[in-house]
Amino acid sequence: MATARIETSQHFYLDRRPVLVDSVLPRDNLRIMTTVGHSLTGLSIAVLTLPRGKTLLWYLVVGHFFVFFANVPDFPLSGWGHSSYHISHSIFLTALLASLLAVLLLLPRFSEQVGRKVVIAWTATWFSHMLLDSMYNHGQGIGIFWPFSDAHLTLPLPWFETLTWPPKSDHNLRVFLIELSVYGALLAVCLFVRSRRKSRIITNSSEVHHQ
């Protein structure tokens, strides 16, 4: 069994870089973080950037897109996702695709209903994915400069681990709980910051009324 793993890893490394192929993912190590960390980070950015005074439906629809864009680089599509760490995680390709979002602003209804600030926040959420992935302790980094450079961004933190096979294991539960704790705390801080901003706005407006 151990020999099989070594053989598998030899297939997936070229010049010390991970070269993963869709149809034969290494089953001993999925090498991805869960969607929890990305989704909570997307929601944190939403909490900090979304305007006030919209309807619940508006927040639900727009908020879902923060989760969507936070996870786009990992979508299980052929030639995409973690089977191709350098393509879907390239800042150049991301910038190109995200710029298409800006085209939507040419539509008057979209511009009015969604607006430029939300599109910028969606784009920031999309880019946050690469930063978060680079912090995982497999240390292989992310090929963010594809196709112009092979350089990999690697900012590993010891407590961030990737998932392993099989899915149900103590290790994966620990990975899930660590992400939930760290990024849940981040979301809580962002909610606190937003609530402080709101109380400051209310205080300022009541002072204006008293003058």
Task: Return the SS3 of 190.
Answer: helix
Q: What are phi and psi of 7, to 5 degrees?
A: -65, -40
Please identify, using beta-carbon distances, which residue of 153 and 191 lies nearer to Zn ion: 153
Nearest-angstrom CA–CA distance, 139 and 130: 14
* Contact region with Zn ion (CB under 5 A), list: 20-28, 57-65, 67-75, 109-117: 67-75
Please identify, using beta-carbon distances, which residue of 67 and 191 lies nearer to Zn ion: 67
Nearest-angstrom CA–CA distance, 60 and 46: 11
* CB 73, min distance to Zn ion, A: 5
* CB 38, min distance to Zn ion, A: 7
Nearest-angstrom CA–CA distance, 81 and 103: 25
Nearest-angstrom CA–CA distance, 157 and 136: 6
Please identify, using beta-carbon distances, which residue of 58 and 154 lies nearer to Zn ion: 154
Contact status, residue 159 vs residue 178, Cβ threshold 8 Å:
yes
* CB 1, min distance to Zn ion, A: 28
Nearest-angstrom CA–CA distance, 14 and 138: 16
Which helix (H) or strand (E) covers residue 14, if one does?
strand 13-14
Both tokens of residue 206?
A: 């009541």
Query: By CB under 5 A, how many residues form the interface with Zn ion?
Result: 3
Please identify, using beta-carbon distances, which residue of 42 and 73 lies nearer to Zn ion: 73
* Contact region with Zn ion (CB under 5 A), list: 74-82, 92-100, 102-110, 192-200: 74-82
By the rule CB under 5 A, 74 interacts with Zn ion: yes
175's CB contacts (< 8 A; 6+ apart) are 33, 34, 161, 162, 163
* Contact region with Zn ion (CB under 5 A), list: 44-52, 130-138, 162-170, 198-206: 130-138
Query: Percentages helix, strand, coil for the chain, rounded to the nearest 5?
Result: 60, 5, 35
By the rule CB under 5 A, 133 interacts with Zn ion: yes
By the rule CB under 5 A, 179 interacts with Zn ion: no
* CB 163, min distance to Zn ion, A: 12
* CB 104, min distance to Zn ion, A: 24
Of residues 27-46, those binding Zn ion (CB under 5 A): none
* Contact region with Zn ion (CB under 5 A), list: 12-20, 66-74, 94-102, 169-177: 66-74
Q: How far is CA 186 from the centre of its chain?
A: 14
Q: Which residues bind Zn ion (CB under 5 A)?
A: 73-74, 133
